[in-house]
Structures are given as structure tokens and as C-alpha cells.
Structure 1
């Protein structure tokens, strides 16, 4: 159990994603962390005690954002909120006052054991925490709840441009320079259009900000499935903080199961999920192979038709 109070925030509007129950199940086993979901999607019947849905319309969120940031913001679609995440310490200040750390999470992921990675030592020694070595990760980060970190967004010379333009800038990460940073380029040398939050944080790190960027997340599956087992997420002998479905959820060869109740243990493969308690029949029963076949056939036909038209 952590001695620091942590809150992870989601602002999500429209309808809950298909992955919501998987997310909630993983929150259940991380009782030392609170989750605040600001949304107009309605209640979540399977939400554990540490998950609270705060009813809020997108219009109310836009108004609150303008008022708290004291500027007119370009916020006409929910996805644009991705650029505002590091300002939530200001925008949602009244909801976060009781916490030592606050941060953001996405709903299209499942957690392992959070306090295996975010320990008291890590919290005591750092102000900013992220799940990748190269950049601040929008799907999971933590900020110490203090004036310096809560106002870091103001240190970007481009923050007003970002907030007043409806385009998505990947502001809180690295302005789309993910591959450059993975290849070893410094954020200060990367070819970017704006000064992102990763650049701000790395600059402030030189002025004493304590930063912990570490490889804690998995976002793709190879030939070996991952195992989610209550409060542990493992791949072979390695444990992970979380699995993010971002690269699989919309792929034609992947499907989420139609479980009425999420099991206490399941496998995550590149094709879908299956109950660990049925190792022989689970992959056949829980993965939508017919849907995968239909989508794959459709993709093949579209590709052939496209090639044919190109040849003409």
C-alpha cells in the first residue's frame, strides 16, 4: 500500500469504449490509487470503489477549461483534450486538492500491479513520472501535485498556440517525434513544430526537476501472449505496469471478447483475449475468429480492387 495519495484522471465523452470493463477490473486490484472519470457516458455498473464517475458534459468541460486557463480555447472535439492533459492540475484543481500526485490514464488499457512500479521511493524522489524512457506518455503519467509541476505547461512558448488551435499537436508527448526519440535523437534536436511538454520537462530537469521516464508499458504483442492475473501483468518472466491496446484495438485481426464478467485471469494475444481457466477452448471460444476472417477478407478485396484500379 502506498503512503502517498494518487489520482489518475480520465476525461471521456460520447460512449464508454468496449475495453471499459477490462480497465475497471484492473483498477479493482489497485486499491491504493483513485481514478476519476469525468464523462457524459453515464454510470459504470462494474466500477470498483476506487473508481468514481464525475458527471460532466463536454460543453461544461470546455467552459471549465477556458475559465481555469483564463483564455478562449479551441476545444470543439473531445480528442483535442489530449493536448490539455498536463494542464488538468489547473483545470481540475478543485477535484485534486487532496492528492500528493495526480496524473492521466487512458481507458483502452489494463493495469498490472501499479505499486510494483510506482513505489514510495519513486514517488519520494521524483516530480514527473512516465511509462516510456523517451517522452512523457499521455496514456499514463504522474505529476507531483504542486505549483511548479501543475504549471509546467506554461513553460512552453507554444502552449497558447496549442490551446487556441483546434489541430492536435501531440503537445503533451513530443509533437509526433516518437521515432526520432526512439532512434536516439535528443528532444532538443528533434524536428518538431512546437515546444512540447517532453522538451519542457527535459529542460526543467536541468534546473532541478526530478524526472523518472522508464520502460514500464507494453503496447503490442508478439508471438507470446501476455498474462493478466488479478494484479499482475507478465510476459514470460517480465512484469509490466500496463498493456495499452492502442495498436491492436482497431486492427482487423484483433477482437475484444464479449465477456459478461471479466475473468480473474486471462491471456492477451495479437488476435484477442481468452480466459486462462479454459486454455484449450478459450482461444476458440473467446476470440471472434469469424469476425477476423470477415474483416480480413474485406481488406483483401479492397486491396485487390485498389491494385486493379491503379493498373488501369
Structure 2
């Protein structure tokens, strides 16, 4: 039987998504979520969420003990480059687990068991190439994968000694863990059903919509998400009000987009069993409220603000891709 531990070292103020993420984690009772943080957490956590209190310097010291050269781990965001090494860094917490993984907290989680299935876990050594969720088989080969040379270079040593962030947990200039995995013949499932938020530099036009598996919809279609008792549905709306179809997704990633949460959700005093996610906020009513909001002045103003941000971005980075 597979046992999966998902590892989340996080230092500094928790994101507004945290309490919603925590409730979604509780619904994913077949997975263990391991948090390492310097932040105060709710006194009572779900049974499958474990927390270890530590400071960022303590975490850095723990990692440094594994290597005989000085690490450039100077700020929490740099942890992303160390994610492929988590199988070694957290080996003491991974005893008895068949798989380990890492992810982001700026996500709305769905039903992981519907996507990280026994069939996929048994067949593949790695599931998903993305830093916002990636799962590895807990074996010496996969735990040391990041150490493998790529085109004759020990890329990991360069990355670990450079204070800049390099997204080594994904592609980094064609030399990230994904390229290393491909070069080493790792059996990988890359088509995990996830949803993200489009970013303007990817399309050279204004994007204020969700995308599903990297594919955008026509301009007269909107994507909204329905989170309902642990399951996440992407619903296609025509003209902002008619539901054309709904499909389950593993999670939605917001790529640092600012999402407005109702105060009780951001503070964790009340997380409803059902809510809707539109591109810039959480709505706790039903579909009529969603349709009303997508036609509102507030939403049009948010769109206008996004357009102004996009214009500034294009002026600053005219050759952005």
C-alpha cells in the first residue's frame, strides 16, 4: 500500500490561502502533510497534518549538515531550488513512506486520491514536473536524482551555491530537475490534471482568466472553480452565467495572483464546505452570486486594473515571452 508524505517548509507570514489549504488537506486523509515553519498554527490540526516548529536559520543548519560546501540558502524563497533534495533533507521523516513530494500553499486543493492513483503511483517514479506539486518514489535512485550530472555538469552544486533563485525544481534554463529526470530515463507522468492562472507575459496580451492544463478558452468563456467538500471542479461559463460543463481537477494554482478572501476564511474562523473561485476573489454564495459578480462594476474595475498592470509590464519588458 502506498503512503505519501507531502513536505512544506514555509517561513514568514502564512499566505491568505493557508486556512483554506488546511481544510482541503484534511479532506485528503490518505496523504500526510508535513509542515516546517516558524509561524503560529492552529492549536488543533487535522490528523494527517503534522507541524514541526523551527526557525529559518535552524532549517538552514539542518540542510547544511548534509553537504561539505557552503550553501547559499539566504532567504526562504531559495528553498524552492532545494526541493528535489527533500528525499535526503527530510529522510528522518520519510521512513515508512513509499513516496514523498513538495508543493505550494497558494493553491486550492481538490481530491488528490482521484489523480494520484495507485495505478499512477505504482507505474511512475515521478508524477508532475511542476514545483507547485510534484511526487517522487521514495527510493535511493529518486532521492539522489538531483545529484546526477547533466551534460557533464553537476548543476545542483552550482544552484546550491548561488543565492539567486533558479527554479531548479522545474526547468531552470533547460537544466532543471525535469531535464535531469528525462536524461536519466525516469518514468514520469507529466499530464496531472491541474489548473493555473494565466500570466500576461506568456501570451503577450491581457490575461485575466484561468487556464486548464495550459490551454486557454475563447474570449466568450470564463472559468470559475467550485470547491465542494474536498473536491475541486472547474466550471465553464458562457457569458458569465450559463454553466456549460464541470470537470474535476487535482488543484488550482494561483501563481502569486492576489485573491480576495472573505475575512472569516483568511483568518480561519470559518471555512465553508462549498465556495466559488473567480479570477480575483472567493465567493461563498451560489452560482447566481457568481454571475452577478462577473457582471459587476467591481469586476470590470479589477479587469481595468489588470489591463493597466499589463501595459506597464509590456513597457518594462517589451520582449517578454
TM-score, normalised to structure 2, is: 0.77
Aligned match for 2:189, one of 180, 191, 212: 212
Q: Displacement of 1:35 after TM fit? A: 0.2
Give the CA deviation at 1:198.
0.7
**Aligned residue for 1:182?**
none
Shift >6 Å, 4+ stretches? 282-285, 288-292, 294-299
Alignment of 1:73-222 (within 5 A): 73-130=71-128, 136-156=129-149, 157-175=154-172, 192=174, 195-205=175-185, 209-220=186-197, 221-222=209-210
The question of whether the paired residues in 1 share the 8 Å contact of 2:24 and 2:109 is answered with yes
Q: SS of the residue aligned with 1:121?
A: helix
In structure 1, distance between residues paired with 2:163 and 2:252: 29
Corresponding position: 1:38 with 2:36: yes
The 3 A distance-change label for structure 1 pair 201 and 22 is: same
- How many pairs does the alignment contain? 271
Contact 1:30 1:231 in 2 (8 A): yes
What are the ranges of 5 or more consecutive residues in structure 1 without an aligned counterpart?
131-135, 177-191, 308-312
Partner residue, 2:239: none
Q: CA RMSD in A?
A: 2.8
Say whether the 8 Å CA contact 1:227–1:265 is kept in structure 2.
yes
Deviations 1:160-214 (A, max 9, x none): 01001101111110115xxxxxxxxxxxxxxx4xx21111001112xxx321111
Partner of 1:224, secondary structure, is strand
- Name the CA shift for 1:154/1:300 in 2 (closer, same or farther; >3 Å): closer
- Tell me the SS of whatever aligns to 1:110: strand
SS in 2 for 1:246: coil
Q: Among residues 10, 27, 35, which one is paired with 2:8 in the alignment?
A: 10
Q: Calculate the TM-score normalised by the size of structure 1.
A: 0.79
The answer for unaligned runs of 5 or more in structure 2 is 198-208, 211-221, 235-244, 316-321
